[in-house]
Amino acid sequence: MTDAPKKMLLVAACALIDTDGRILLAQRPEGKNLAGLWEFPGGKVEEGETPEETVVRELYEELGITTRIPCLAPLTFASHTYETFHLLMPLFVCRRFDGIAQGREGQAIKWVRPQALRDYPMPPADEPLIPFLQDLL
């Protein structure tokens, strides 16, 4: 027998790139699913939102960064089955933004060189995304 189908969760995420070509990672806080792992800023696409709107909203809420939809470029996506849901996660890149990133929800953040991305343990869905960023940068 096949397992019951898992709920599809749509999450939109963004690789912010600074002028030195480093990528911003944020550490998932204690108490959350996948705590301690380093991820791309983003979050669940809410009802009535486009993935681009989600990214603009989350960058502001999580980091205090402002950007605009035309400054987001699609790069690739993650499609990964977790225990209780299937994650579908478009990944955008953004090089044009305003503000100095701060972990506004208590999360640690770090600007990471592309070649050092593997030094930061990431959720399993994110690992296949790394070569896309390394090729881009």
Q: What is the DSSP letter of 133?
A: H
Interface with ligand 8DG includes 87 (CB under 6 A)?
yes
Interface with ligand 8DG includes 16 (CB under 6 A)?
no
Report residue 48: phi and psi, to 5°: 85, 0
Span of 15-23, 39-47, 100-108, 113-121 interacting with ligand 8DG by CB under 6 A: 39-47
Interface with ligand 8DG includes 125 (CB under 6 A)?
yes
Residue 42, annotated as binding a ligand: yes
Report residue 33: phi and psi, to 5°: -50, 135
DSSP character string of 60-82 = IIII--B--GGGEEEEEEEEEE-
The first and second tokens of residue 128, run together, are 């296949």
Judged by CB under 6 A, the chain residues 95 through 124 that form the site for ligand 8DG are 123
Residue in this structure with the two tokens 């044009």, named with its chain if needed: 96
Interface with ligand 8DG includes 52 (CB under 6 A)?
no
Interface with ligand 8DG includes 34 (CB under 6 A)?
yes
Which parts of this chain interact with ligand 8DG (CB under 6 A)?
A: 11, 13, 32-34, 39-40, 42-44, 87, 123, 125-126
